[in-house]
Amino acid sequence: MGRLVVIDGLDGSGKQTQTALLSWRLEQQGISVKKITFPTYTRSSALIDLYLGGELGALDEVNVYAASTFYAVDRYASFCQDWGRDYREGALVLTDRYVTANIIHQMGKLPKDRWEDYLSWLSDLEYTRFALPRPDLVLYLELPIETASALIAQRYQGDEAKKDLHERNLAYLRTCYETAAFAARRLGWRMVHCGDGAGGIRAPDDISAQLEEIVKQTLPL
């Protein structure tokens, strides 16, 4: 079997950028990388599009387990159609978001005393019933809420209409920050602090170099 490395973080934390940079760094050293991203925004993510567009109801109206399953099915379809064979043949798979994103974005909708139950339910659904591979390493891009929110606003040039159901809700982003910290402690995610201490974000190459070092220290390549 291959190895699976996940990069995750709040919206605005630079997941897409860091996935691309880390992939490039590893490939420059002759390491073959299969790079993927979630959601896939293909036919298998049609329900995700409805959910993020607010067509299934407000953020607090959509059933947590239903929303989680939308994303899980998209991952299952992607594994079957896109990267499952590569993984089984020994490839290093690098993914922008994974099962981790359900934990970050869905678990916080539940009371804290149900978080452990949710983790058990999600693990059973995605890793046992859907038989998706467990990550060998999760790299979590930690970024202060205020910085992440400012970067999201910058991305859309202040146009609130362009934000999805998650991005437009600051209180929700704060909860996601809390669930991610909980999961990092509980599940052993590697926390990478991306803030520059002055309300901004560290240079992308600086962050990428740290991610590369962690990968090399953790996995045999």
pLDDT category at 71 given cuts 50, 70, 90 is very high
pLDDT value at position 168?
57
| Annotation: CATH topology of 3-218 | Rossmann fold (3.40.50)
pTM summary value: 0.92
- Per-domain boundaries in the chain: 3-218
**Does the pLDDT of residue 59 top 90, yes or no?**
no
The model's pLDDT over 181-214, given as tens digits with 9 standing for 90+, comes to 999 999 999 999 999 988 889 999 999 999 999 9
**Per-residue model confidence as pLDDT tens digits over 35-53:** 999 999 999 999 999 998 8
Report which residue type is found at 8: D
pLDDT for the residue numbered 53:
87
Q: What is the model's pLDDT at position 148?
A: 75
* Residue 212 one-letter amino acid: E
pLDDT at 60: 85
6-25 pLDDT, tens digit per residue, is: 999 988 889 999 999 999 99
Q: What average pLDDT score do residues 106-112 get? A: 95
Predicted pLDDT at 160? 52
Q: pLDDT by residue (tens digit) across 122-174?
A: 999 999 999 999 999 999 999 988 887 777 667 645 555 555 555 556 788 88
Predicted pLDDT at 74:
98
